[in-house]
Amino acid sequence: MMPAPLELIDTIVVVILENRSFDHMLGYLNLPGPGRLPLEGLQSDPQWLQQHANSGVQPFEFSVQDIDDPPHEHATIALQIGSPAAVGGSFPMNGFVESYLVRHPPPADKRLVMGYYRAQDVPALDFFARNYAVCDHWFSALPTGTQANRLMAMSGTTSIIDNAPLFLPDQSLVYDWLTDRKVSWCVYQSGDFLPFFALMRRWQDEIATSLALDALVPHAHPRFRRYRNFARDWTTEQNMPSVIFIEPEYTDGPHIAPNDDHPPTGIAPGQALLTEIYRTLISNPPRWDRTLMLVTYDEHGGFYDHVSPLNIPSPIAGHGPTPVFLSTGVRVPGLVISPLVDPGTVYSRPLDHTSVLQLLADKYASGLYSPEVHDRQPSLSRLSDVITRTVPRTDLPQPPTVEAVAVATPAVPQRAPGANANAAAFRLAAAKIAADHPGIASGWPALMLAARP
């Protein structure tokens, strides 16, 4: 039986950005002062700060945009959280600076992984937290990098442990799950490059042809679309897909104008993207009344957080019956935005990325997504619990203007992807699409830039 609040929702919008922890982005909300929210965040007490120092570096306020990308692979995350866990199951969370120092080349400033932003630096997230709901115990699904965590977020399982410069394994995704249940869905891709699951070969043909069709034929309704058409579709289309995924332009793509928050890209472009999405959603009030928007980050990106991960073991397909991972990943921002959510809600029960899949199951499949997602549920709560209203709010909170958010955006040079595993995987995908669809590729500069050997 569908939880009652979900009967009031027609459209679910999911946005997953890249590589930032909760304390790093939203920990300030707990600090003393006007507007403090009662959540599990940072504290100003000197004894607390000393207790949570890493290699002598305490959490500190900063507004730095250009940060050398911290390590965030399985081995380095184990160092960051202090794996294995101590007796009782908690992790000391004391290796973030030490992990940053093993980066090659070394970081310009070892302290930056301990830095945290304030409201003026994250105006979109601050607005969402104060006007809707913030989840302060939302964790990435696994203590590893982007690829495995995005697979967990979009399928509930993964057969890979770490990022690799290869195609992703062809496994079932939430796209398949929704299609099998005749639930309409689409992906809007920001910028001019590719969505994340172009790294999976079986989706490449549809992604390439859909994006080309969407650029050439207005209102063609392919399942993969350009984000630049989202506002037009939201305000003019009679029927929108029930589930909408909006993907940023990835830093690991051609790096023309990324807005995914993945260092060295600053967070200002991501704040502008989130603000713009929200502004579009509220531009159609009748549709907004029955909409739920979820915002989170795929993993913490090597940035400090003080809360120990959840003790949820995760067997990995093809790696034997013994769980490869004994916990979730590090805590990340989680926001629930809807007129069916009371302003200033702080939801402190445990969630991880598979909670989004459970929400879809609660809405469309009587609560069962998959055995793998089901097995995690005894340790997790339900996102549907955040929806507490039985009628939509009549107020329509107005966000900070996109111009004000974007003014701090640093200039990002146009360049081909770097040498990390995700960038290499995107290059491989671009090269294959260019080879398989030369007619489409010839009019797609970002794809051709990424496909260069």
pLDDT at 407: 41
Torsion of CA 100, 101, 104, 105, to 10 degrees: 110
- Residue 416 pLDDT exceeds 60: no
The model's confidence at residue 419, banded by pLDDT at 50, 70 and 90, is low
pLDDT at 191: 93
- Residue 164 pLDDT exceeds 90: no
pLDDT digits (tens, 9 = 90+) for 24-40: 999 999 999 999 999 99
pLDDT digits (tens, 9 = 90+) for 111-152: 999 999 999 999 999 999 999 999 999 999 999 999 999 999
CA distances from 385 to 182, 288, 310, 332, 342 (A): 25, 19, 19, 19, 12
Q: What are phi and psi of 276, to 5 degrees?
A: -65, -40
Integer Cα distance of 56 and 306 in angstroms = 15
Average pLDDT over residues 142-167: 94
The model's confidence at residue 218, banded by pLDDT at 50, 70 and 90, is confident
- Which residues are bridge partners to 116 per DSSP? 61
Retrieve residue 34's tokens.
């006007």
Contact 250, 19 (CB under 8 A): no
267-271, 350-354, 393-397, 421-425 — which is least confidently predicted? 421-425
Contact 381, 313 (CB under 8 A): no
Beta strand ranges found along 140-298 (DSSP E): 185-189, 224-226, 243-247, 291-297
Please say whether the structural domain 4-414 has been given the CATH code 3.40.720.10.
Answer: yes
Contact 336, 136 (CB under 8 A): no
Mean pLDDT of the chain: 92
Alpha helices in 96-145 (DSSP H): 96-101, 123-131
Residues 6+ apart with CB under 8 A from 247: 15, 16, 187, 188, 189, 190, 195, 196, 227
Beta strand ranges found along 180-290 (DSSP E): 185-189, 224-226, 243-247
Which of 231-235, 313-317, 320-324, 448-452: highest mean pLDDT?
231-235
Q: CA nearest 163: which of 181, 176, 179, 144?
A: 144
pLDDT digits (tens, 9 = 90+) for 85-108: 766 689 999 999 999 999 988 998
Q: What are phi and psi of 168, to 5 degrees?
A: -70, 150
Average pLDDT over residues 172-195: 97
Burial code of 266-288, b = ≥16 C-beta within 10 A, e = fewer?
A: bbbbbbbbbbbbbebbbebeebb
Q: What are phi and psi of 336, to 5 degrees?
A: -120, 120
- Residue 11 pLDDT exceeds 60: yes
Residues 6+ apart with CB under 8 A from 184: 178, 239, 241, 242, 243
Domain locations in the chain?
4-414
User: In which element (H, E) is residue 48 found?
Assistant: helix 46-51
Integer Cα distance of 171 and 186 in angstroms = 18
User: In which element (H, E) is residue 75 found?
Assistant: helix 74-81
- Residue 200 is given by DSSP the state B
Contact 168, 200 (CB under 8 A): yes
24-28, 74-78, 246-250, 252-256 — which is least confidently predicted? 252-256
pLDDT at 321: 75
CB atoms within 10 A of CB 179: 13
Average pLDDT over residues 71-91: 88
Q: Can you say how many angstroms the Cα of residue 170 is from the centroid of all Cα atoms in its chain?
A: 21
The model's confidence at residue 156, banded by pLDDT at 50, 70 and 90, is very high
Integer Cα distance of 141 and 148 in angstroms = 9
Helix, strand counts (H, E) of the chain: 17, 12
User: In which element (H, E) is residue 95 found?
Assistant: none
Integer Cα distance of 449 and 453 in angstroms = 9
Integer Cα distance of 44 and 386 in angstroms = 29
pLDDT at 131: 98
pLDDT at 402: 57
The model's confidence at residue 410, banded by pLDDT at 50, 70 and 90, is very low
Model pTM? 0.95
Helix, coil or strand: residue 67: coil
pLDDT digits (tens, 9 = 90+) for 307-346: 999 999 998 877 777 778 999 999 999 999 999 999 999 9
Helix axes 268-282, 123-131, angle to 10 degrees: 40
pLDDT digits (tens, 9 = 90+) for 342-398: 999 999 999 999 999 999 999 999 889 999 999 999 999 999 999 999 999 999 999
